[in-house]
Structure 1
Amino acid sequence: MRANFDASGDRGHVELFVPFAVAALSRLGCAADSITVGREIALAFGLRLPAGVVTSILRRAVKQHMVVRTQERFECTEGAHQKTATVWKQQSDATRRQKALLGAAMADPRIARLRDEGADIEALLLGYIEKHAVPLLSRIIARPTSVPNGPQKPGGDSPDFAIASFISDALASDPTITSYIEDLVKGSMLSSAVYLSESGPLDRRFEKTVLYLDTPLLLKAIGHEGAAAQEATLELVSAARSNGATIAVFDHSVKEARNVLGAAEQAIRNTRTPDSVRGVLAHYFELRARPADLLTAIARLEGDIRAAGVQIVSPPAYNSRLTVDESGLEKALVEGVRYPRPAAARYDMKSVAAVHALRSGRDVDQIERTRAMLVTNNDALVAVSARYFKEHERTSLPPAVLDHDLATRLWLKSPTAAPNLPRTQILADSLVLLDPGEALWRRYLDEIDALSARGDVSADEVIELRFSYEAHRALVVETGNNPDRVDADVIDATLRRIREAAKDEERMLTALAAQEASSAHARAALAGLAAGELAADLEGERGRRLAAEQALATLRSQLVLRRDLIRSRARKRAHLAISVLVWFVVAVCLAAFAVTTFVDMALLPNWVGLAVKVVSAVVIVTGTITQTVGGSVRTFVEQAEAPLASWLERRMSSTGAGFDAPEGVG
């Protein structure tokens, strides 16, 4: 299935099944009806597809000219043979990888013990992957007929515990086995596309949908339950956002998150170990956190939420038409969900009721078309709320969705946009299954107290046994999550594992320090080799800079000289022009005086008389101004020269007319 997806180029989920249908038809002699082809697909590949889906797949094969339809039968074409050969090759390769994965699982002592007891390890492994990676959205599509009792911890020799241990170890340390696991997970998720498509097209984007995280997911998203949980949740948030959804959280959920962190701070401050160490508290115990660290986390809570791209919103205002029976809903949640704290039921009721109100009575059958949806990791909450709203509000789409169900649907929409989502989800699941349950933890603490009272363990060892994350993991491994196996030998084995883990960590730190020292020596050697070249480069750069500065100074000098020359020439030309004008006026005045003195005006044209009068008026006005204001003709000439010289300077600077630039000046 995974190989077919890679080859299909993401052209659609029906496309994934065309090679299987063609290969099955070829096995049937290249002629059969859709029902027979469906049976053959189930026999050859283990895929049980609805009859209508098989018909749709065969019709797609017809469009690709690999199959032709004659009445109710389908027949192969020449193009089907190459596709069939590819399918068998892919199946052979997949079988080889599955056998390698199965062999690695068999080599694990925990799984080998199950094999010796007659368990079908292959069925257990595939069943675990289908159960924890691909729930097929049954809680969304189907109407729940029964209410699960919430997430259960595997106890004793539970196969889930052994498989979870193997998978978590492989994902953490073996890239090859990790790739085999991812192939199985993603292939299973792709095969679920047939069933998911019945609840709406998988390529539909969200239409103004806001996904509200409940408190546990919110705490995971901002890193308060460890890196693995945070990575899985942020992958989910990123995939939802890339498909058009908005991510938000109700303000009462922020308040609940603050209370959870406050309770963890009190537990760390107290000397008595709590009855249960998991989630937020287990994370901070592992970090050896101090109360001040939790107080800092509380102070930064809202800022961290917004930094993760999650909006903080208030529930809608009260509306009698959209308000549910809150007391009835809370009662149903208390009875159907195992809450560790009574207040948790109240917060969940508020979130579910707010989602219902935000939908404004608009009932839809597809998650992509709804306005609001609560995302939770509590499958009991999903089931109880779905049943309650179906019975009392007649709604077809539940108000809450399980995070794994949403992750499956989002990954199927765009596998290349969130390639790590299946791996992070199944890793987070496996790590949760490897946490000690309450019964095991309580029995473990009792045994530690007994050993401490007898003096068999020191005070420092008690602290390590109670608060070390490695101790929690070792406890589960040594007991198989069975409280009846806790005894002094288990405590001794746990202490050995703690010491071995400390030594491993010390060796790793030593290796890292040696690697860093080696890198430092290498960097020093490279620095020494480069020092000479660097010095030469710096000297050359200094010379080039000095040369550039000298050239710039020379250019500035030339520009100043050019400006002075232009200004001098402009002044000379302005003086010449004004002088010419003055002498012209004088000449005109003298000519007018001569005419009026020696020539009879009656003999001259009228314009000559008019010109004489104008010149006389100019002379009289000029003389009057000179006598009244002061100054002389030279003063007026100089005042007229200044603006003319300025104009000529600008003109000559812009055009270069009448100016030969000095050498070297452009």
Structure 2
Amino acid sequence: MPYALEALRLSGDRPLTDREVKDRVFDLFGLDLPVNVVSSLIGRGAKQSLVKRAPRTRELTLSEGAAAKLPDIASQQLACRREQTALVRGLISFAQTRFEIEWDETTAETALVDYIESHAVSLLSFSVRGRNPADYEGADQGSGYIVAAYIALVAEGNPSAFGYLDQMVKGSMLASALYLEVPNDVQRRFRRTILYLDTPICLRALGHEGSDAQEATQQVLRLAMSQGASLACFSHSVKEMRGILEGTKVALRRTVGAESAMRGVATHFRSSDYNENDVNLAVERLERDLDKVRIRVVDTPEHTTHFGVDENELEHVLQEKINYKYEHTLLPDLNSLTAIHRLRGGESGPHLETCKAVLITDNSALVRASRSFFNSGRHEWPLAMLDHTLAALVWVKEPTQAPDLPRQRIIADCYAALAPSPNLWLKVADEIDRLDQRGSISAEDVALLRYSNEAQQSLMDMTLGDPRRVSPKAISTALARARESAAAPAVDEKRQAESRAEKAEEAEAASRFLAHEKASEAQALRTRLDSLEARDTRRVSAIRKSAERRAGALGLFVKALVVVVLVGATIAGIATFFPVVNEFILRPLRLPILIAGAVAFTISILILAKGKSILEYVGIQQAALQARFEKSALQRAGLVEAEQPQDEQHDGA
């Protein structure tokens, strides 16, 4: 609707008819909408009071004030164009770098848009655009393969660019809904219609081709079931699945043999390090696993004369369109198409949702073959359709229910496109057998070509996914890359050994240098320690001498004082016994002096009685005082630790 309203806005005051709006939308935005679609969109705008229609002329104009409510489509268009240009230029650079192919912007843009349309909007292939599914034949070959490889690269390493690509896919899928004959068709729900899944679709839904393919497939199936569809597969398809799973045992053993029909499963199993026990478990649980994802196994309906078809002619058409190499790969497809024909009662209406039964496959050649054979008009909806088409149809009905579906589909499709198709691999296998028979390659070379991922990628890059480009040169190039890859572990091991040896030598040199540094540091520390010890010795010696001097001086003073006091006291005490002396002493002092003299005399007598003189006693006290002076000075200098006071010691205890 915004595009139709923008066309009216840009027309100014000039009224437009529905057809003129259609033409303006095509000129401005490249959307070739049917007139009835334009009328429906304008009707929605009128209900929202955005559009006025003249009663007589039926001409259209915007309502007053409606222009201010419209989104700024011009700015959005410019921003989208810038992002698309960046994406296209990245594709040009990628094609030149990886494939040495020169593309201009027009060629690259066309390749990108064609790839998006072929994978996201298969619905358009039978819309009013008139593009037939045959127009997309080989969409994953040539330029399509280059685009797929580019998208895979962008998905892994450029989130912003892939985000725009995701918007392109969503926009294309939503645009496809505009081409339905009746706009309300997009809201139609499934009624008693069963989607019969072809073998590859079932294997992907079960996860046997990797988690990306599983999630993308299951998203589509869940969305279809939420809209009323039922899921099933034929019993002959289950038999084919068992055969493919059993065949992967050969691939896991790397035994030479054809594996074109099982390459996706075999590649996934090998990359996941599965063994034969894992395969046996997958085979044993096959029907239970199908039931878990709500795929019902039904018996293939019996043949009836009334709804019978010329199976010989159908087989001829299938062989012509698909070129099967083995009959056991042709029969399941033939049985599936004829079974759908019988389940429909030989005819169907024009809508998927009410066609009763349809085969969902990833084989575009099978879809083309079924259209070619059942072209009488009795089946208005084709018997077989691509899973891309189903994804587009169910997603546009409820895009908000699975917003990541387009992103998951495009990623899964790109990785699928990078793997060899069955036809390509059959051609490669034939060429390998021919070279082997001629003796041009060894048995080891055959194994490398069949099972090396590098050989597979090289073959795809050389041929761009086109079986017609398989040649001895492509095989030789692939073999050379595979040999290089096979030798890579030995080369890497040698480089790692050389690197380890170099690191060991560097570590040894560093160790020697470190040891020398540590020895030098230890020597410097020893020298410093000796210096500090010498300094401390000098300081201790100086402190001792100072303490000795102080204690000596104090001792000398005490000795002199003691001598004077003792002598004086003794003399004074003796003198008090003489009357002459007493006359010169004041009477109050006579008795104290006498007592002091007696005491001093008595002390002297006691000291002398013990064998020590007064001077010797003072000398002992002098030595103790010197020790105290020395200890105090050493503590202040930090040369010894201070003793903790006894009170603190008791408190700590």
TM-score interval (norm. to shorter): 0.5 to 0.7
Larger displacement relative to structure 2 (86-95 or 439-448): 439-448
Contact 2:435 2:441 (C-alpha < 8 Å) held by counterparts: no
Count of residue pairs the alignment pairs up: 480
1:134 equivalent in alignment to 2:134? no
Larger displacement relative to structure 2 (415-424 or 236-245): 415-424
The offset of 1:310, in angstroms, is 0.9
**Cα gap change, 1:488/1:298 in structure 2, threshold over 3 Å: closer, same or farther?**
same
Partner of 2:416: 432
Contact 2:92 2:105 (C-alpha < 8 Å) held by counterparts: no
Computed over aligned residues only, the root mean square deviation of the Cα atoms, in angstroms, reads 3.7
How big is each residue's C-alpha offset from its partner over 1:28-63, in whole Å with a ceiling of 9 and x where there is no partner? 224222222222211211212122322322232222
**Cα gap change, 1:439/1:143 in structure 2, threshold over 3 Å: closer, same or farther?**
same
Distance 1:174 1:501 in 2: 29
Quick check: which has more Rg, 1 or 2? 2
Contact 2:463 2:470 (C-alpha < 8 Å) held by counterparts: yes
Distance 2:490 2:434 in 1: 23
The offset of 1:480, in angstroms, is 4.5
Partner of 1:29: 12
1:244-255 aligned within 5 A: 244-255=228-239
Decide which of 486, 494, 507 is 2:474's aligned counterpart.
Answer: 486
Distance 1:341 1:139 in 2: 32
Give secondary structure in 2 for the equivalent of 1:428: helix
The offset of 1:254, in angstroms, is 0.4
Partner of 1:415: 399
TM-score by length of structure 2 reads 0.65
Paired residue type of 2:474: V
Decide which of 257, 273, 279 is 2:264's aligned counterpart.
Answer: 279
Give secondary structure in 1 for the equivalent of 2:385: strand
The offset of 1:429, in angstroms, is 2.5
Partner of 1:344: 329
Distance 1:248 1:326 in 2: 23
Distance 1:479 1:386 in 2: 29
Decide which of 235, 240, 246 is 1:262's aligned counterpart.
Answer: 246
Decide which of 319, 329, 334 is 1:334's aligned counterpart.
Answer: 319
Partner of 1:95: 81
How big is each residue's C-alpha offset from its partner over 1:264-306, in whole Å with a ceiling of 9 and x where there is no partner? 3234446325474732233334344434433332222212211
Partner of 2:171: 187
Paired residue type of 1:91: Q
Paired residue type of 1:135: S
Contact 2:4 2:21 (C-alpha < 8 Å) held by counterparts: yes
Distance 2:491 2:485 in 1: 10
Contact 1:452 1:462 (C-alpha < 8 Å) held by counterparts: no
The offset of 1:210, in angstroms, is 1.2
The offset of 1:130, in angstroms, is 1.4
- Unaligned 5+ segments in structure 1 are 1-17, 505-666
1:557-568 aligned within 5 A: none
The offset of 1:171, in angstroms, is 1.7
How big is each residue's C-alpha offset from its partner over 1:610-648, in whole Å with a ceiling of 9 and x where there is no partner? xxxxxxxxxxxxxxxxxxxxxxxxxxxxxxxxxxxxxxx
Give secondary structure in 2 for the equivalent of 1:89: helix
Partner of 1:359: 344
How big is each residue's C-alpha offset from its partner over 1:98-145, in whole Å with a ceiling of 9 and x where there is no partner? 233234334425479544567632222122211222112535999998
Partner of 2:24: 40
How big is each residue's C-alpha offset from its partner over 1:336-360, in whole Å with a ceiling of 9 and x where there is no partner? 4333432333222322222233234
Paired residue type of 1:473: Q
- Unaligned 5+ segments in structure 2 are 493-653
**Cα gap change, 1:296/1:340 in structure 2, threshold over 3 Å: closer, same or farther?**
farther
Partner of 1:105: 91
Paired residue type of 1:20: Y
Distance 1:496 1:252 in 2: 43
The offset of 1:163, in angstroms, is 1.0
Decide which of 159, 165, 175 is 2:159's aligned counterpart.
Answer: 175
Give secondary structure in 2 for the equivalent of 1:312: strand
1:90-239 aligned within 5 A: 90-110=76-96, 113-116=100-103, 120-136=107-123, 138=125, 154=141, 158-198=142-182, 201-239=185-223
Contact 2:187 2:397 (C-alpha < 8 Å) held by counterparts: yes
Contact 2:223 2:394 (C-alpha < 8 Å) held by counterparts: yes
Paired residue type of 1:294: V
Give secondary structure in 2 for the equivalent of 1:205: coil
Larger displacement relative to structure 2 (471-480 or 41-50): 471-480
**Cα gap change, 1:109/1:377 in structure 2, threshold over 3 Å: closer, same or farther?**
closer
Give secondary structure in 2 for the equivalent of 1:396: coil
1:241 equivalent in alignment to 2:228? no
Distance 1:501 1:72 in 2: 76
Paired residue type of 2:382: P
Partner of 2:558: none
The offset of 1:211, in angstroms, is 0.8
**Cα gap change, 1:149/1:102 in structure 2, threshold over 3 Å: closer, same or farther?**
closer
The offset of 1:235, in angstroms, is 1.6
Contact 2:367 2:384 (C-alpha < 8 Å) held by counterparts: yes
The offset of 1:245, in angstroms, is 0.8
Paired residue type of 2:19: I
How big is each residue's C-alpha offset from its partner over 1:162-182, in whole Å with a ceiling of 9 and x where there is no partner? 211100121233322221110
Partner of 1:19: 2
Paired residue type of 1:431: Y
Give secondary structure in 2 for the equivalent of 1:284: helix
The offset of 1:501, in angstroms, is 10
1:306 equivalent in alignment to 2:294? no
Distance 2:372 2:327 in 1: 21
